[in-house]
Structure 1
Amino acid sequence: MLAEVPTTVRHKAEAERRFGDFATTYFEAMWAGDPLADAFVADFPALGHGKAMRMLKKACQAGVDSVPDAPASLRALFAQLDDVPEWLDLEVIDRDSAHIGRYTRQSGIVLGAASLVSGYANSAASRPLEMTGRYIENAGARTIEVGSWLVEVSKTGGLERFSSGFELTVRVRIIHALVRAALREDPEWDLGAWGVPICQAFLGYTLIEFCLIPIRGMRAIGAPYLPEEEAAAYARWRYLGHLLGIDETLLPRDREEQERLEDIYLLTRPPVDSYCRDLVASINSEFLVPEIECLLPARPARLRRAAKPVVHGLERVFLGDQIADELGIPQAPRTKRIIERVGPAIARVNAALDRYPRTLGPRTTLGERYRVKQDHRLRTKYAVQHDLVDESPGDGLPHPARA
Structure 2
Amino acid sequence: MATFATVGSALADLEFNRRDHEDRPLRPIPPGRDQFSARWLPSRRYLFGPWRTIEATIPASDFTRARDDMFWQADEHMIPVVDLFHSAGPSAVRPMFEQMLTGGIDAVPDAPSALVDFFAQLAEPPAWFDRRSADRGRLLISSASLSAQRLVLGWALFETAMTGDISAATGATGRFKRDSVRRYAETFRMFALAMKPDIYDRDSEVFQTIVRVRLMHALASRGLRRAWGDEHYLRFGEPIAATSLLAFGNGPLLTRLVDHRLGRKLSARDLDDIAMFAGWFGHLIGAPDRLRAADGEEMIRSLDYVFSRGGDPSGWREELMHTVRQPIDALVDAYLPWVPGNARSVVSAAGCKVFAAGAITPLVPVFGIEEIHEFIDGAPEFRFPYRIHADLFGRVASLNARSAGIRDRVPGATLVRRTLYRNGPPGIDQAVDGLAAFARRYHDIAMAYTHHDASTTGRGLGSSRLAPAAG
TM-based fold match above 0.5? yes
- Work out the CA distance in 2 between the residues paired with 1:372 and 1:178: 26
> Is the contact between residue 193 and residue 432 of structure 2 (CA under 8 Å) also seen in structure 1?
no
Q: Which residue of 2 aligns with 1:313?
A: 361
User: What's the CA shift for 1:145?
Assistant: 0.7
**How many residue pairs get matched?**
388
> 2:372 pairs with 296, 314, 324, which one?
324
- Work out the CA distance in 1 between the residues paired with 2:122 and 2:106: 13
User: What's the CA shift for 1:113?
Assistant: 0.9
Higher mean alpha-carbon deviation, 123-132 vs 317-326, is at: 317-326
Using the aligned pairs only, state the percent identity: 20
Structure 2: gaps (5+ residues): 8-28, 37-54, 336-346, 378-382, 458-471
Q: 1:368 to 1:134 in 2, by over 3 A?
A: closer
Match for 1:371: what amino acid? A
Structure 1: gaps (5+ residues): 295-300
Higher mean alpha-carbon deviation, 56-65 vs 218-227, is at: 218-227
User: What's the CA shift for 1:191?
Assistant: 1.0
- Work out the CA distance in 1 between the residues paired with 2:228 and 2:316: 19
1:11 paired to 2:24? no
> 2:177 pairs with 110, 121, 136, which one?
136
1:63 paired to 2:104? yes
> 1:333 pairs with 377, 387, 402, which one?
387
Q: Which residue of 1 aligns with 2:15?
A: none
Q: Which residue of 1 aligns with 2:427?
A: 367
> 1:196 pairs with 224, 238, 245, which one?
238
Q: 1:158 to 1:312 in 2, by over 3 A?
A: closer
Q: Residue 111 of structure 2 aligns to a residue in which SS?
A: coil
Q: Which residue of 1 aligns with 2:247?
A: 205
Q: 1:18 to 1:48 in 2, by over 3 A?
A: same
1:109-151, Cα deviation, whole Å (9 max, x unpaired): 3453122422432222322212211113444432221121122
Q: Which residue of 2 aligns with 1:240?
A: 281
- Work out the CA distance in 2 between the residues paired with 1:108 and 1:30: 29
1:340-394, Cα deviation, whole Å (9 max, x unpaired): 11111122333344436476446878534653565356536754643343169x9
- Work out the CA distance in 1 between the residues paired with 2:450 and 2:195: 21
- Work out the CA distance in 1 between the residues paired with 2:442 and 2:150: 18
- Work out the CA distance in 1 between the residues paired with 2:350 and 2:83: 53
Q: Which residue of 1 aligns with 2:158?
A: 117
1:315-335, Cα deviation, whole Å (9 max, x unpaired): 324545565355346671111
Q: 1:30 to 1:400 in 2, by over 3 A?
A: same
Match for 1:246: what amino acid? A
- Work out the CA distance in 1 between the residues paired with 2:167 and 2:431: 29
- Work out the CA distance in 1 between the residues paired with 2:147 and 2:198: 23
Q: Which residue of 2 aligns with 1:387?
A: 447
Match for 1:307: what amino acid? V
Q: Residue 154 of structure 1 aligns to a residue in which SS?
A: coil
Match for 1:30: what amino acid? F
- Work out the CA distance in 2 between the residues paired with 1:104 and 1:141: 28
> Is the contact between residue 37 and residue 174 of structure 1 (CA under 8 Å) also seen in structure 2?
yes
1:149-207, Cα deviation, whole Å (9 max, x unpaired): 12222211222122122211222221122112212221467212321121112121212
User: What's the CA shift for 1:279?
Assistant: 1.9
- Work out the CA distance in 2 between the residues paired with 1:200 and 1:73: 19
Higher mean alpha-carbon deviation, 145-154 vs 250-259, is at: 250-259
> Is the contact between residue 361 and residue 389 of structure 2 (CA under 8 Å) also seen in structure 1?
yes
Task: Give the aligned CA root-mean-square deviation in angstroms.
Answer: 4.0
Q: How does 1:214-225 map to 2 (within 5 A)?
A: 214-217=255-258
Q: 1:112 to 1:42 in 2, by over 3 A?
A: same
Match for 1:10: what amino acid? D
- Work out the CA distance in 1 between the residues paired with 2:404 and 2:168: 40
User: What's the CA shift for 1:44?
Assistant: 2.0
Q: How does 1:4-403 map to 2 (within 5 A)?
A: 4=7, 5-11=29-35, 18-94=59-135, 97-98=138-139, 109-187=150-228, 190-208=232-250, 210-217=251-258, 231-283=272-324, 285-287=325-327, 307=354, 310=357, 311-321=359-369, 323-328=371-376, 332-354=386-408, 355=410, 357=413, 360=417, 361=419, 366-368=426-428, 371-372=431-432, 374-375=434-435, 378-379=438-439, 382-383=442-443, 385-390=445-450
- Work out the CA distance in 2 between the residues paired with 1:39 and 1:348: 48
> Is the contact between residue 123 and residue 275 of structure 1 (CA under 8 Å) also seen in structure 2?
no
- Work out the CA distance in 1 between the residues paired with 2:30 and 2:56: 14
> Is the contact between residue 113 and residue 288 of structure 1 (CA under 8 Å) also seen in structure 2?
no
- Work out the CA distance in 2 between the residues paired with 1:98 and 1:158: 12
- Work out the CA distance in 2 between the residues paired with 1:288 and 1:318: 25
Match for 1:152: what amino acid? L
1:193-242, Cα deviation, whole Å (9 max, x unpaired): 3211211121212124x323232345678988898765543222201212
- Work out the CA distance in 2 between the residues paired with 1:200 and 1:134: 21
- Work out the CA distance in 2 between the residues paired with 1:151 and 1:303: 25
- Work out the CA distance in 2 between the residues paired with 1:289 and 1:260: 40
Q: Residue 8 of structure 1 aligns to a residue in which SS?
A: helix
Q: Residue 272 of structure 1 aligns to a residue in which SS?
A: coil
- TM normalised by structure 2 equals 0.69
Q: 1:117 to 1:131 in 2, by over 3 A?
A: same
- TM normalised by structure 1 equals 0.79
Q: Which residue of 2 aligns with 1:298?
A: none
Match for 1:166: what amino acid? F
- Work out the CA distance in 2 between the residues paired with 1:245 and 1:71: 20
